[in-house]
A and B are shown apart, each in its own frame.
Chain A
Amino acid sequence: MTKHNTKKRDWTFAQLMVTAAAREIADKEVVFVGMRLPLLGFLLAKSTHAPEAVGVYELGIVRDTLAPEPIMTMGDLPNLYRAQWLADTADAMGLLQQGGVDVSFIGGAQVDRFGNLNTSYIGGTTNVETRLPGSGGACDLASLANRHIIIMSHEKHRFVPRVDYITSPGFGDGDGWRQHVGLPRGGPSTVITTLGILRFDSNTREMVLASVHPGVTEEMVTENTGWPLQILPDLTQTPEPSEEELAILLRFDPQGYWTGK
């Protein structure tokens, strides 16, 4: 993880990232919830400003209420309790493929300036330096949701000009690429990192820095990005998690397994 200003604060960067993820969800949206931090982001959104958001999980779960107990992962039994629907993976993916999912969340290991994501092969496929777990549903979420949000650690070796392998398509090599390859819709809307929040220029489809987290400077972000990063003229500071949001997160992640550090 990147070193931050060590000024005393009463929240962790993981909590800030989850809070930022939650704020990307609007009420009544259909959310394809990914693993780990996004799981908490969805629960936080449902508990605050988006009580009528509906969650779709690739295991074959649709639910519109909170699980009755904290869950570590989407397959935990409390997440099945009084689900709106328990079904097959193809059913959840069908909702996604027909265009019925507003927003999805995916984690990344390596990302490039057009939001293409690699979670498969670092170093390429012939000389594999590091084999990562692969797509899971991420490629599908990036291909088929109306928009997707990427959550990842902001480090120079992860923010590269061109990913070694496209597991989950972003905007390819720029504007028009998704239409050209035949993707029906979507594309990344936001990248939430350990340092800031980035969005995509609507003309060039290139990533631009939109906000920096409290204690993070513009320079820290550009130094940890592997290409000359564009910065929005009205760069803002990411809002801190509120006391209410922190209290809710503590309820969902009581041991701090996901957000403690």
Chain B
Amino acid sequence: MFLKFGHLEFDTVPKSKLMTLPESIDRFVPDGSSVAMCLCLESLIPFAAAHEIIRQRKQNLTLIGPISDILFDQVIGAACVRKVRAAWVGNVITGSCYNFRRAIESHSLEMEDHSNLTVAMALRAGAMGVPFMPARTALGSDLFKTNASLKTITCPFTDIPLTAVAAIKPDVVVVHVQRADEYGSAHAWGNLGVTRDACLASRHIILTAEEIVSPDVISRDPNRVITPGFRVSAVVHYPWGAHPSPVPGYYNRDHQAFIDYRNESKTPELFDGWQKRWVDNIQCYQDYLIALGEKRISELALKHHVMSETVDYGY
């Protein structure tokens, strides 16, 4: 319903932000964007969204995150990335990632070396609207040589040396959540890494969600909301959108997929084959689930459900 006040029109009913994954990436991840992803570190990694970025052959992206597990390596392998601002790019259970290695060793990728704490502080500075945050980490390390966002300063109160971490304000953050409503309010639970600060620091927020639920489900438990819904740009329904990373309440980590990826990315040719099979041949989550197969899906499903007590928000 529209209200008119003179020349101004107000939309009194919130607009649905529900859209397809291709539409959300097309609209909010233009070439050259800085994109924050993998913000819970090991869980809720938005693999489906990253694969759509690859399918749309985005160019000159800057990827931002603490540790990415194998996601950054995939987007780098697909030649979408110009620069990485991260603490760690590798495969958590196998070690080095090959596309990242090849890109750095051939000087085709710019790297800003962070620690997990400096990434957290950079995004917090962005979230707080201040130019930097102080920290006591990394002093004496060589991170300062390969990261222009770090400088040493003297504390104005105590005179001790501090690391000043410049704010990072991503153009867009991509977050996978357990459930969202169509207006952009969403619940996420588990360990949350740097997700909340990254959402506040970013200009646009894309949510991919295991389930779309009614606004009532979300608003009855506002402590579990990951970021205020009014700041969210896009909501995408994408079950299994974080596979092979785990999603608390939905599915376990698919260790074998990470081991397979190590073997399937050893050479650029092998990676091309991986990309064809797991990215380019997939158009929607139904395709992905078929590729995964029923057996694997049931193996990864939760075997023990552990429900929390409900809480009373009454008045």
Chain A interface (Cβ < 8 Å from any Cβ of B): 35-36, 57-61, 68, 72-77, 80-82, 86-90, 93, 96-97, 120-121, 125, 128-140, 143-144, 165-169, 172, 177-178, 181-184, 257
Q: Are B140 and A73 in contact (CB under 8 A)?
A: no
A139's partner among B96, B121, B138, B304 (CB-CB below 8 A) is B138
Say whether B194 contacts A130, CB under 8 Å.
Answer: no
* A97 contacts B142, C-beta separation under 8 Å: no
CB neighbours of B100 from chain A (8 A)? 131, 133
Q: Which residues of A contact B218 (CB under 8 A)?
A: none
The answer to whether residues A182 and B113 also contact, given A75-B41, A89-B194 and a CB cut-off of 8 A, is: no
- By the criterion CB–CB under 8 Å, are B115 and A165 in contact? no
The reply to whether A134 and B86 contact each other, CB–CB distance below 8 Å, is yes
Chain A nearest Cβ from B312, distance in angstroms: 21
Residue in B90, B113, B137 whose CB lies within 8 Å of A140: B137
A223 to B231, CA, bound (A): 60
Best-surrounded residue of A77, A125, A166 (most CB of chain B within 10 A):
A77
* CB-based contact A143/B116 at 8 Å: no
Interchain CB contact under 8 A, B152 and A182: yes
Question: Could you tell me if A143 and B137 are in contact, using CB atoms closer than 8 angstroms?
Answer: yes
Q: How far does the Cβ of A186 sit from chain B's closest Cβ, in whole Å?
A: 11
What is the bound-complex CA distance between A139 and B114, given in angstroms?
A: 9
Query: CB-CB contacts of B187-216 with A at 8 A, as 1s and 0s?
Result: 001111111110000000000000000000
Residue in A97, A133, A178 whose beta carbon sits within 8 Å of that of B96 in the complex:
A133
CB of B161 within 8 A of CB of A181, answer: yes
CB neighbors of A among B113-156 (8 A): 113-117, 120-121, 124, 135-143, 145-146, 152
B42, B196, B304: the one within 8 Å of A73 (CB): B42
Q: Is the CB of A128 within 8 A of B105?
A: yes
11 pairs of residues in contact across A and B, judged by CB atoms under 8 Å: A59-B40, A77-B252, A81-B306, A86-B191, A88-B191, A88-B197, A89-B120, A132-B90, A133-B100, A134-B90, A140-B138
Which B residues are CB-close (under 8 A) to A80? 190-191, 248
The reply to whether the CB of B246 lies closer than 8 angstroms to some CB of chain A is yes
Q: Once the chains bind, are B116 and A75 in contact (CB under 8 Å)?
A: no
Set of chain A residues within 8 Å of B120, measured between Cβ atoms = 88-90, 93
Residues of A near B93 (CB, < 8 A) are: 36, 72-73, 257
Number of A-B contacts (CB under 8 A): 190
What residues on A are CB-neighbors of B222 within 8 Å?
none
Residues of B within 8 A of A (CB): 40-43, 66-67, 86-90, 92-93, 95-97, 100-101, 104-105, 107, 113-117, 120-121, 124, 135-143, 145-146, 152, 160-162, 189-197, 245-246, 248, 252-253, 255, 302, 304, 306
Residues of A within 8 A of B116 (CB): 58, 89, 93, 135-137, 140
Are B96 and A132 closer than 8 Å at their CB atoms? yes
CA distance in complex: A190, B115 (Å): 22
Question: CA A87 – CA B113 in complex, angstroms?
Answer: 24
Q: Is the interface of A mostly helix, strand, loop or mixed?
A: loop
* Smallest CB gap from B152: residue in A: A182
Given A76-B253, A140-B115 in contact, is the A183-B193 Cβ separation under 8 Å?
no
Q: Of A75, A96, A184, which contacts B43 at CB under 8 A?
A: A75
Q: Chain B residues with Cβ under 8 A from A181's Cβ?
A: 139-140, 161
Q: Which residues of B contact A168 (CB under 8 A)?
A: 141
Q: A136-B87, A167-B141 are in contact. Are A60 and B253 (CB under 8 A)?
A: no
Given contacts A72-B253, A169-B138, 19 further A-B contacts (CB under 8 A): A59-B43, A59-B193, A68-B304, A73-B42, A75-B92, A75-B191, A77-B302, A80-B190, A80-B191, A88-B193, A88-B196, A131-B101, A132-B96, A134-B88, A135-B87, A136-B67, A139-B87, A166-B141, A183-B140
The distance in angstroms between the C-alpha atoms of A77 and B42, with both chains bound, is 10
Known: A138-B115, A139-B138. A88 touches B245 (CB 8 A): no
A182 vs B40: C-alpha distance when bound (angstroms): 30
Which of A93, A135, A169, A183 counts the most chain B CB atoms within 10 A? A135
Closest to A168 in B: B141
